[in-house]
């Protein structure tokens, strides 16, 4: 196959520049040329269009970059196995994974099939209807790690594609095309200049950085090249290494959409809008879409607890109930990358960020912009109090999830806020405990805290010690 033509950037330099209109026209022509070569390498446009279903079984090693028990490398590594299946003509997607990691044991399946969409928890023996199933959002991660499907998407959405230039990958020249899928930010595809195969893709996720995918070991299946391995990197660090053990093309996936009769049907879980919930006098839980922060009103200031996604929006909601008191402290529960996203927002408020001493470097790295970070660290316990309220910030680690965990405890109310260890499902049905929940319960017992209400960073529902005991007592079905 002939090599791609000279890149547009070089062409502009050699000709001394062209009009803006000509640059656009040349970019479109170059993009179309590359796509044509890629389609040929992947079996042709007609063959890709007839690619209606794929079933891939895989084994994965996950490297917990920014999500390990310790705040730095060497990162924890965990193994899991699973299966993904997609069928385009009926907009069906099924994904299932089982394994361990981060103090969790899991065996779950998600079925996206219009009105018959379910979340299956095989450990708990339950099937929960999905009230607003979104095929494109659910199947996007699978498409992004399957080059044949990315090429199929590229062809369908070629009007969004743009040629970015040439780049070297593993010592070989690649042409780079960017395009926009139905959901998510634009993704850049690196095609080998000789084989036209996709060897790398990347995109930037706000709050996380550069996400890179590498594809290896192509095998021809039904006339289409499929990768047998892929690697996912986050900001240059390996996060996932997957080996595909089986790939089936255009097979019937109906059986995979069936919910086993042995599973108990639960009530559907509706969307999780942004809400403000009053937990007690001057204590508010604010959040939605699975992430919550707690705000505690003191005499002349506010303590914010939790640093997961969406803190600026949660602060805006806070101002509807506490209009003028400043946020003086923002408490980070632990060092995981999804729980320090709120650091810049608290810094912008002029608040002092409170974190475990072991997590200070992670919190400093999470600060962005020109605002100076005020940081206070905790070794074992920090008390904030005024005439009417006492707030205790306690490191109850280690747990199976993290070596250090700051919980915020209001002894007068018997209220405790934590993250990632015991989350009440929004349908109220408590599943069997995982390792992180068991170690959390043990830590609470060691500290002899008198608790009435358990508040989570990931649920609008509060729990009780009785709910926690239900999880500890409940048997695992599978």
pLDDT > 70 fraction of the chain, expressed in percent and rounded:
95
The alpha carbon of residue 350 and the mean position of all alpha carbons in its chain are separated, in whole angstroms, by: 28
pLDDT, tens only, 378-404: 999 999 999 999 999 999 999 999 999
Confidence of residue 4 (pLDDT cuts 50, 70, 90): very low
pLDDT, tens only, 339-372: 999 999 999 999 999 999 999 999 999 998 788 9
The helix (H) or strand (E) run that includes residue 245 is strand 237-249
% helix, strand, coil for the chain, step of 5: 25, 40, 40
* Cα distance between the two ends of the chain: 52
CA separation for the pair 209, 397 (Å, rounded): 29
Quote the mean pLDDT of the chain: 94
Structure tokens at 406: 């700051």
DSSP symbols for 296-356:
EE-SS-EEEE---TTHHHHHHHHTTTS-S--EEEEE-----GGGSTTHHHHHHTTPEEEEE
Whether pLDDT at 3 is above 90: no
Cα atoms found within 13 Å of the Cα of residue 244, Cβ hemisphere only: 24
What architecture is domain 275-473? 4-Layer Sandwich (3.60)
- Which CATH code fits 10-265? 2.50.20.10
- Does the fold of domain 275-473 match that of domain 10-265? no
Q: In what order do the strands lie in the sheet with 381-385?
A: 381-385, 390-395, 406-410, 415-418, 453-456
Residue whose entry in the numeric block shows the structure tokens 């502009």: 12
Cα atoms found within 13 Å of the Cα of residue 178, Cβ hemisphere only: 12
Verdict on whether the full-model pTM lies above 0.95 = no
Bridging pattern class, strands 327-331 and 302-305: parallel
Give the residue among 330, 333, 297 at the shortest CA–CA distance from 407: 333
Give the residue among 200, 261, 185 at the shortest CA–CA distance from 236: 200
Around Cβ 277, how many Cβ atoms within 10 Å?
15
Q: What are phi and psi of 467, to 5 degrees?
A: -65, -40
- pLDDT at res. 7: 43
- pLDDT at res. 20: 53
Structure tokens at 158: 């070629």
Higher-scoring residue by pLDDT: 13, 171: 171
Whether pLDDT at 8 is above 50: no
The helix (H) or strand (E) run that includes residue 14 is helix 8-15
- Cβ neighbors of 239 (< 8 A, separation 6 or more) are 62, 63, 65, 232, 233
- Mean of pLDDT values over 23-29: 90
Whether pLDDT at 18 is above 50: no
Q: Which long-range contacts (CB under 8 A, 24 or more apart) does 274-282 make?
A: 274/310, 274/313, 274/314, 274/317, 275/460, 276/317, 276/318, 276/320, 276/321, 277/460, 278/321, 279/413, 279/415, 279/453, 279/455, 279/462, 280/410, 280/413, 280/415, 282/322, 282/389
pLDDT, tens only, 108-131: 999 999 999 999 999 999 999 998
- Cβ neighbors of 181 (< 8 A, separation 6 or more) are 136, 140, 143, 144, 153, 157, 187
Confidence of residue 9 (pLDDT cuts 50, 70, 90): very low
- Mean of pLDDT values over 260-280: 94
- pLDDT at res. 437: 98
Could you state, in order of their start, the residue ranges of all structural domains in the chain?
10-265, 275-473
- pLDDT at res. 21: 60
CA separation for the pair 209, 170 (Å, rounded): 22
Q: Which stretch of 1-15, 126-140, 221-235, 446-460 has the lowest confidence by average pLDDT?
A: 1-15
- Mean of pLDDT values over 424-428: 91
Residue whose entry in the numeric block shows the structure tokens 């707030």: 391
CA separation for the pair 151, 442 (Å, rounded): 50
Cα 254 to Cα 85, 136, 263, 348, 400, distances in angstroms: 10, 19, 18, 52, 38
CA separation for the pair 236, 71 (Å, rounded): 17
């Amino acid at each position: 196959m002939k090599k791609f033509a000279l890149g547009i950037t070089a062409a502009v330099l050699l000709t001394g520049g062209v009009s803006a209109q000509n640059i656009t026209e040349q970019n479109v022509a170059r993009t179309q040329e590359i796509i044509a070569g890629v389609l040929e390498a992947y079996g042709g446009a007609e063959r890709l269009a007839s690619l209606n279903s794929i079933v891939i079984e895989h084994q994965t090693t996950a490297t917990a970059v920014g999500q390990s028990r310790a705040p730095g490398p060497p990162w924890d590594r965990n193994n899991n196995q699973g299966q993904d299946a997609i069928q385009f003509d009926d907009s069906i997607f099924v994904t299932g994974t089982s394994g361990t990691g981060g103090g969790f044991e899991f065996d779950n399946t998600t079925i996206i099939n219009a009105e018959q969409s379910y979340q299956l928890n095989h450990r708990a023996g339950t099937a929960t209807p999905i009230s607003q199933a979104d095929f494109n959002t659910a199947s996007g991660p699978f498409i992004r790690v399957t080059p044949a499907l990315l090429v199929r998407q590229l062809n369908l959405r070629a009007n969004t594609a743009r040629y970015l230039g040439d780049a070297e990958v593993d010592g070989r020249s690649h042409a780079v095309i960017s395009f926009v899928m139905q959901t998510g930010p634009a993704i850049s595809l690196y095609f080998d200049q000789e084989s036209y195969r996709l060897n790398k893709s990347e995109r930037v996720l706000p709050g996380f950085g550069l996400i890179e995918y590498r594809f290896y070991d192509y095998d021809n299946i039904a006339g289409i090249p499929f990768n047998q391995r892929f690697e996912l990197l986050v900001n240059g660090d390996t996060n996932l290494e997957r080996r595909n053990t089986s790939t089936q093309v255009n097979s019937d996936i109906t059986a995979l959409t069936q919910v086993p009769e042995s599973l108990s049907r639960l009530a559907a879980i509706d969307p999780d809008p942004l809400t403000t919930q009053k937990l007690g006098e001057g204590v508010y839980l604010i959040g939605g879409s699975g992430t919550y922060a707690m705000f505690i009103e003191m005499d002349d200031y506010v303590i914010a607890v939790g640093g997961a996604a969406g803190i600026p929006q949660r602060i805006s909601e806070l101002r509807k109930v506490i209009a003028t008191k400043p946020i003086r402290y923002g408490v980070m529960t632990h060092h995981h990358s999804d729980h320090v996203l709120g650091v810049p927002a608290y810094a912008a408020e002029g608040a002092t960020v409170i974190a475990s001493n072991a997590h200070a470097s992670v919190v400093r790295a999470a600060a962005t912009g020109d605002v100076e970070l005020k940081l206070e660290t905790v070794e074992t316990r920090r008390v904030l109090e005024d005439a009417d309220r006492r707030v205790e910030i306690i490191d109850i680690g280690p747990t199976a999830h993290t070596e250090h965990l700051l919980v915020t405890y209001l002894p007068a109310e018997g209220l405790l806020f934590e993250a990632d260890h015991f989350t009440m499902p929004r349908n109220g049905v408590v599943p069997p405990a995982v390792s992180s929940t068991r170690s959390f319960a043990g830590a609470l017992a060691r500290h002899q805290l008198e608790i009435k209400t358990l508040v989570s960073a990931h649920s609008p529902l509060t729990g009780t010690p009785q709910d926690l005991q239900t999880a500890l007592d409940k048997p695992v079905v599978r």
